[in-house]
Amino acid sequence: MKIKILTVIISIVFFSFAQTKDAYDSEYEKGAGLFDPSRLTIQHSLSFGMASTSGISNMKSLSQYTTSLQYQFIAPVTLNLNFSLPIHSTFSSVNNMSVSNIQSLEYFKNIPFDVSLTWKPSENVNFSINVARYTEGSYFADGFYPFTTGYYSHRLNRR
């Protein structure tokens, strides 16, 4: 079932950028497909981080590859998609890019992402719809973040 859904999503993306042979060979307007590639911005980054608390020798580290996509539909409407692929993490072994995690699909269940659709009709008005997932044990929600059910919130509940 997951493979069928993935196939449908990939097909929709390919068909939305498709052009006919006539449009490619002649002087038709470029970007005449459903989406205009000139309105798409893609940024990539690779980050490495380390953290430790004073008095405790529990050095934590994380490396991740992040992609940010932005598509400008019309002047005031923008779609943003950000997702990170953890490469190595000492916060949680589930976040490591290993053969066993990728084959079991556990790796893909723990990818942090956020999606937002923003409409800014004027300088002082901004409407935004956001969906985000920062998984337990990830860089964004590792127990140090106060709203997670991580290590420190469990310790507080025991007292």
- What is the pLDDT, as a whole number, of residue 18? 58
- Sign of the dihedral through C-alpha 43, 133, 3, 97: positive
- What is the pLDDT, as a whole number, of residue 129? 92
Helix (H, G, I), strand (E, B) or coil at 123: coil
pTM beyond 0.85: no
- What is the pLDDT, as a whole number, of residue 20? 57
The rounded average pLDDT for each run of 10 residues, N- to C-terminus, in the chain (159 residues) is 75 64 54 73 88 73 85 85 82 72 74 87 89 65 44 40
CA 131 vs CA 7, 70, 122, 149: distances in Å: 23, 15, 23, 19
What span, in angstroms and rounded, lies between the C-alpha atoms of 62 and 93?
11
Token pair belonging to 63: 């490396």
What span, in angstroms and rounded, lies between the C-alpha atoms of 131 and 117?
9
